[in-house]
């Protein structure tokens, strides 16, 4: 995958979004797309006992408040791999602020989606279809994940698919 290829991938496809997976569900390895090297690099390894709860990646052709592409969390039946392009249905968005000590908070939302190819999760249509316990666990993952980097992560709320779509549209470059 080259920088030009990533840049050409549209955020939306026939009502769904594209998500480029950086770190597969269940992985302790945090991979990150490096546009200068045109490859995925190992960014860090999570501590023992901690792993990504869902496929973690980004929506190409977008930019969030932190300057990076919008973050995507995708429910899939099986873990994928770094660089996998997944067509997904937006379920909603976890709106959040992230900050480092002494700095102003920056919006760093997490868009929740389900793979269009999913058999297990095909019935999910909105974030409210996910169990409250699973959503609370997801929030705690990101709070702890950011604490490891000396950052604060504060969830502002959970919004449905229409709000998520509007935020993705607003974040398109």
The mean per-residue pLDDT over the stretch 47-67 comes to 95
Q: What would the mean pLDDT of 136-153 be, rounded to a whole number? A: 96
Cα–Cα distance for residue pair 67/139, rounded to 1 Å: 22
Neighbouring residues of 79: CB distance < 8 A, sequence distance ≥ 6 = 24, 25, 26, 27, 55
**Mean of the per-residue pLDDT values for the chain?**
94
Determine the pLDDT at residue 11. Answer: 87
Spatial distance between the Cα atoms of 14 and 33, rounded to a whole number of angstroms: 25
pLDDT of the residue at 71: 97
pLDDT per position as a tens digit, 101-114: 889 999 999 999 99
Nearest to 127, CA basis, from 96, 94, 78 = 94
Residues 8-37 have pLDDT tens digits of: 888 888 889 999 999 999 999 999 999 899
Dihedral sign for Cα 132, 135, 141, 143, please: negative
Please tell me the distance from the alpha carbon of residue 148 to that of residue 166, in angstroms, as a whole number. 31
Of the chain, the percentage scoring pLDDT greater than 70 comes to 97
Shortest CA distance to 68 belongs to which of 78, 54, 58? 58
Does 3-166 carry CATH code 1.10.110.30?
no
Structure tokens at 111: 């868009």
């Amino acid at each position: 995958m080259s920088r030009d290829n990533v840049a050409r991938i549209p955020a939306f496809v026939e009502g769904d979004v594209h998500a480029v997976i950086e770190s597969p569900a269940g992985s302790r390895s945090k991979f990150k797309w490096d546009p200068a090297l045109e490859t995925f690099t190992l960014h860090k390894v999570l501590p023992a006992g901690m792993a990504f709860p869902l496929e973690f990646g980004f929506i190409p052709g977008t930019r969030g408040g932190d300057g990076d592409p919008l973050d995507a969390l995708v429910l899939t039946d099986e873990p994928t791999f770094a660089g996998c392009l997944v067509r997904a249905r937006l379920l909603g968005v976890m709106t959040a602020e992230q900050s480092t000590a002494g700095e102003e908070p920056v919006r760093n939302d997490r868009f929740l989606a389900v793979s269009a190819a999913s058999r297990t999760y095909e019935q999910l249509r909105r974030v409210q279809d996910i169990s409250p316990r699973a959503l609370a666990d997801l929030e705690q993952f990101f709070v702890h994940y950011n604490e490891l980097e000396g950052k604060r992560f504060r969830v502002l709320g959970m919004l449905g698919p229409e709000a998520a779509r509007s935020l993705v549209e607003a974040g398109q470059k």
